[in-house]
Chains A and B, each alone.
Chain A
Amino acid sequence: MDFLHTADWQIGMAARQAAGAGEKIREARLQTAQRIVAVAHEHKAQAILLAGDQFEDSQVGDDLVHRILKILADAAPVPVFVLPGNHDPLGPASIYQRRAFQHAPANMVIIREANPLVREDLGAVLLPFPITQKRATIDPTEHLPAFAGSGLIRIGLTHGSLRIEGKYQEDDHPIALDAARRQNLDYLALGHWHSYYSPDARCSYPGTPEPTGFDEPGSGTVNLVHIAGPGSVPVVERLPVARLNWHLWDEETAEPFDALLDDWRRRVEALQGTERCLLRLRLRGRLPAGLDVLLEDFADWARARLLYFDLDTTRLVPDLKAGRLQELAQAHPLLAGVLADLAALEHAGPGRNGSSEPAEVPPLDSADAGVIHEAAALLARLAGEVWP
């Protein structure tokens, strides 16, 4: 038996890490869903298992519900088993109570009760446990329905966190690591974690098929699971389906800056499908006065090419002892004094008055590195206007 195992589509989620591209990111998740259906067809999957959190919340708009229903209808005749997760749990306000689901496609099975689903046609029995609460301390696999029959592949389907120290919370639907063995399952299809994870050959998380941020390695795929027969060890193949590419670059500033920026430009252009790329450039190192202008130019350039670009300069340390401002300071003592004060403040750290010369610098409780940087940049700009 071959089937697709996926979860955590999180349809309708907010893109807070890339707020400016929220609509595009939400649309991309729908496109990924379409892609999953296509992949199912491509690989002749006999079923699609959705292991929860198809929707980010039970109160997403009806338009999204209809879009998903349409996409899943396109999967026909492949049956789609939909398990409610902690983001879209069963209940009176569940999204699965919407009228839209009264006209769900025939191939779509919404799992509303923990009853075994015997599918002789698939040679398998599905043993699901739907989630009805956002948080719960019970192990959902302990409540999988019993099935005494034989000759069928036993597939468990539920949603929760494996009890791995540091990676779960007691009220986050905790699941025993050896749940598949305990429940005598051929395969335990789980959902909840956004990165692929498999504690053993009979259990896995497929991860979200579309990453939700810059820090989700192991996402963007679905599991194509092959089980030869009851008792056989499943063979899992991860198939990429993600529409968007999230990139996080940690870079250090180094002179010559022009060359550095040119290098970044070349790397951006080399990205696959730049219009589907989201890039966060996280800089560290020193920031001499004047570099910020160059960086802003680069940011504008990148935004014109990428779906989303974010320049994170919060880790940069303003360098006030180099550049043209320092040259001007040689001839203008007031300017030199102010630069010395900024340098002293920067050296003293946020919220501290560390200037030793002059002795009396007004308290600057809000003077953090960003403010000092901004002040230095501003001073440089104004000085450039006064002494072109």
Chain B
Amino acid sequence: MILHSLQVEGFRCFRSPTGLQELDPRLNLVVGPNESGKSTLFLALCHAFFTPYRSAGGELASLQPWETTLAPRVMVEFEDAGVRYRLEKQFLHGPACRLSEVKGDKLELLAEAEAADEKVRALLLGDKPGRGPARAEHWGLARLLWSPQGQAEAGTMSEAARDRLQAALGRMTVDAGEAELTGKIEDLYADIFTKARGDYQKGAEVRQRGDELARLTRELEALQAQHAENESRAVKYQDLQAEEQRLRQARQLKAAEAETLRADLERVRELRGNEKLASTKLQALQEKFVRVEADRTRLADARKVLAEQGEPEPPAETDDGSLRAEEQRLAAELAEVRASLDRLGALRKQAEKQQEQRGIQEALARLATPLEETERLTAERAERAGRLRDVKSPRTEDLQAARKQTDRLRELNGQLKSVGLTVDVHLEAEAEIIFEGSEGKQEQFLLAGGKQQFVSADQATIHLPGFGTLHIRSGAGEIRQLQAERQKLLTGLRDLLDRFGVTTLEELEARRQQCDSEQKELASLDEQIRLAAGKHETLAGLKQEHARLSTLLQSADQPPEVLDLDQIQRELDAEVKRVRTLEAALLQVTRAMQEASARQAQQAVARGQRESARQAAEQVRADLMRAYVDEPAVEQAYQEARREREAAQHALADLQAALPAGGDGPEARVHELQADLTRLDDEIRARHDAIVGLQALLDQSAELGLFSQIAVLKETCELAKVRHVQADRHARAVQLLRNLVQTRRQEVAANLTGPIEARVGQLLGRVTSRQDRRPVFDDRLQLQGVRVGAADTQRSIDLLSGGTQEQLSVLVRLACGLYLAESERQLVVLDDTLVYSDSARHERFQDLLLEAADRLQIVLLSCHPERYRLLAEAKVHNLGAE
């Protein structure tokens, strides 16, 4: 197919009719700057051939020129298999499609509307899009031959396009019959399997049969479960029966035991009564025995007491007077020692006083030297302090004021000197010169030729004795102000200096230094006094201490003799020790005397008690004799009571031995058995009820004839299974056939890609000047990799530069076009391609395009016409400047 013209209107940037007219059957170069509409023309061409004219939606609406409601229109004239067609298509508003054959100047309508759409699509083996505009995958052959802007990879190949290409290659292909056969298999497959995931379709027989089988199986399983439940009920029934039987047997045993126990119960009750009587009798006899035994004991005790009263009394303990004499001797000795102690104490006090007086005397002696030194220093300090009091010391602020005034005076003098009078005298003969100015009067004698300079403020008088007097005055007001200030300052300064009896600042400062020095001397003397006075600090303190000590010394009595304090102390210690010994001995004697007194008191009490006991024993004996007549009768009564008690104890033991063992006796056992029987009755009843219930269920379920239902359902399931197996086998057979057919067709595709790879590899060699690389495509002509040299290993396409990949995509289109052009010239459209190619390759590419144009109609769209200067023969279609 080749293109004769393309005209658009109301299409994006083209509001008014624009297009390409009289396209060259070989080479066409559509040039124009960016946004001049080159790609819009490409888009219009694609929509014209492949987008159904009634398509709508946002994407088509975007074809309308900006802010218009114009209906996009395309008109294409093309030639295919020797027939020239005109296709007119309008989208959105008043959509229309007409396909006519151009016969000279006339048009012969071939088809309209959908029929026209369909016919045009068929010419280019395109596919009808589902909804909306056509996309690249619907372009059929154009997908192989047309390259949109910015799409580097080669277009994928549809089945129909591949078949057309195969036919062109003269290779094995699928004939019409086989295509029909394939279609039938695909239809069968689509009836059974979903396209997306290959699952069973809802309406597929295999699925319905499967569902039916599953349903029947579920029903069968439910029935079988019921059947099994009945079987288990039967087992449970038998278990319950066995259990009931066991319980009944247990009940029989318990009932027999209860019956036996009831017969024993009367005998036990009688024994219990006798036991109670025997127990009561035993208790009475026991009390009697206890009573008699107590009397017997009392009598024995009384007899014992009375027997003891007959024995001689132990001698009473008395004091023989030795203790008291010893006590008196010790007390006398102790008084003597204490007197000695008092005497020694007085002597020790005297000795201590003597020692104290000696200490005072030593202290007075130690005070003499510091007192003398302190008195000397204190006198010196008083003298210096008196001198300092006579001299007036200037304060720091006085000094600062004087310095400030002096400085200001000097400054004023300087100012006065600079603005005042300066008199240079140069005498030619010797003479005396008397100058009187603001600084006072100066007298100078100058030799001949001598020079002298005098200064003054505003006036001066120069008197040259013998020659006359020269008065000089200055009229400057500033001088007067300075002088007034200077005078004032001078007055103030003099007053200040006068207060301290000095005339200059230096004297004032000297005075201050002198005063400061005196102060330091005084401070030094104070420190020396403190050191000399020691802890008393001052002379007064020292004197006070001296006076105190002297007073103490004068008031003390002088002892007649000198006492030895240590000797006195030793004697004292010896006497103290002796006192302690005597006191201890005295204490011991006193305690012995106290203990003797206590023992005498106890003996008196014991004698009293024995007497009371004897009287009580007499009374007891008298009482008992009144009750028993004589003493043997007591013993006789005791023995009799003991025998009676023992007999009662034996009788009770015999009765208790005859009673059944266990605390609660047969009544408890009977009660327990009765409870067991009640429980067993309940359990038996429960089992029986359960058995009756189960029997009812079994009867009921048996009558349902579950197994008969199961038998029928099993057969139905069997039939359903057979039907499902058949349907499943059919489905799998269809799947198998489809897979085999697809595999075979992939084999055909493999036959197709081989020649394409060879052809593209050859063209690539010409463009790149490298013959060792051969591209590898998949069965849809998608670039998969590249083989380099003789190596059989496929390498990644990443090895190729972006420019080479782009060149490959164009070369694939040229190769396909050249194969398809075996039957007729084919249209190849390249929109803004080869933008990444270097100039050398680009030039070689142009050579290829020139060569290919012998069999192809090539339409190049580019914004770089200068890059195609080698295509001089190309017809240039200029879309104009922006």
Contact = CB atoms under 8 A, between A and B. Distances in A.
A259 interface: no
Interface stretch (B1-9, B178-186, B570-578, B824-832): B178-186
Contact of A59 (B177, B230, B733): B230
Contacts of B549: none
A92 B705 contact: no
Given A59-B702, A385-B184, A341 B744 contact: yes
Interface stretch (B126-134, B234-242, B263-271): B234-242
A332 B695 contact: no
Contacts of B744: 334, 337-338, 341, 358
Interface in A364-383: 364, 366-367, 370-372, 374-375, 377-379, 382-383
Contacts of A91: 234, 237-238
Contacts of B181: 332, 334-335, 382-383, 386
Contacts of A19: 714-716, 718-719, 722
B184 A58 contact: no
Contact of B732 (A23, A97, A99, A366): A366
B184 to A, nearest CB: 5
Contacts of B712: 14, 22-23
Nearest to B736: A375
- From B231, B705, B748, residue with most partner A Cβ within 10 Å: B705
B877 interface: no
A362 interface: yes
Contacts, number: 165
Interface residues of B, number: 58
B237 A92 contact: yes
B543 interface: no
B707 interface: yes
Contacts of B230: 59, 93
Contacts of A64: 705, 708
B408 interface: no
- From A59, A61, A342, A371, residue with most partner B Cβ within 10 Å: A59
Interface string B713-757: 011101100100000011011101101111111111000000000
Nearest to B180: A386
Contacts of B729: 370-371, 374
A268 B338 CA distance: 167
A56 interface: yes
B708 A60 contact: yes
Interface string B627-655: 00000000000000000000000000000
B231 A93 contact: yes
Nearest to A376: B733
Given A14-B710, A19-B718, A337-B747, A92 B737 contact: no
B281 interface: no
Interface in A82-135: 91-95, 97-99
Contacts of A22: 711-712, 715
Contacts of A59: 227, 230, 701-702, 704-708
A361 interface: yes
Nearest to A98: B702
A60 B702 CA distance: 7
Interface in A306-364: 332-335, 337-338, 341-342, 345, 358, 360-362, 364
B822 interface: no
Contacts of B174: 334
A15 B715 contact: yes
Contacts of B716: 19
A14 to B, nearest CB: 4
Contacts of A94: 234
A154 interface: no
Given A335-B178, A374-B730, A360 B701 contact: no
What's the dominant secondary structure at chain B's contact region?
A: helix
B703 interface: yes
B175 interface: yes
Given A15-B715, A371-B729, A61 B705 contact: yes
A92 B745 contact: no
A interface, how many residues as a size bin?
35 or more
Contacts of B175: 332, 334
A62 B703 contact: yes
Interface in A124-172: none
B231 A338 contact: no
A64 B729 CA distance: 39
Nearest to B716: A19
B854 interface: no
- From B699, B711, B746, residue with most partner A Cβ within 10 Å: B711
A298 to B, nearest CB: 17
Contact of A334 (B178, B238, B710, B715): B178
A367 B736 contact: yes
B740 A371 contact: no
B694 interface: yes
A341 B702 contact: no
Nearest to A375: B733
Interface string B165-182: 000000010110110111
Interface string B547-588: 000000000000000000000000000000000000000000
A12 interface: yes
B779 to A, nearest CB: 12
B541 to A, nearest CB: 128
B357 to A, nearest CB: 139
A338 B227 CA distance: 51
B707 A16 contact: no
A332 B708 contact: no
Contacts of A371: 729, 732-733, 736
B111 interface: no
B238 A333 contact: no
23 contacts: A13-B711, A14-B711, A57-B707, A60-B708, A60-B711, A61-B708, A61-B709, A63-B705, A92-B241, A334-B174, A334-B181, A334-B182, A334-B741, A338-B741, A341-B744, A358-B747, A366-B732, A367-B736, A370-B729, A375-B736, A375-B737, A378-B188, A385-B184
Given A58-B702, A374-B733, 11 more contacts: A12-B707, A59-B706, A59-B707, A60-B708, A62-B702, A332-B178, A334-B174, A362-B739, A371-B733, A374-B732, A382-B184
Interface of B: 172, 174-175, 177-178, 180-182, 184-185, 188, 227, 230-231, 233-234, 237-238, 241, 694-695, 698-699, 701-712, 714-716, 718-719, 722, 729-730, 732-734, 736-737, 739-748
The 3 closest A-B pairs by CB, nearest first: A61-B705, A93-B234, A14-B711
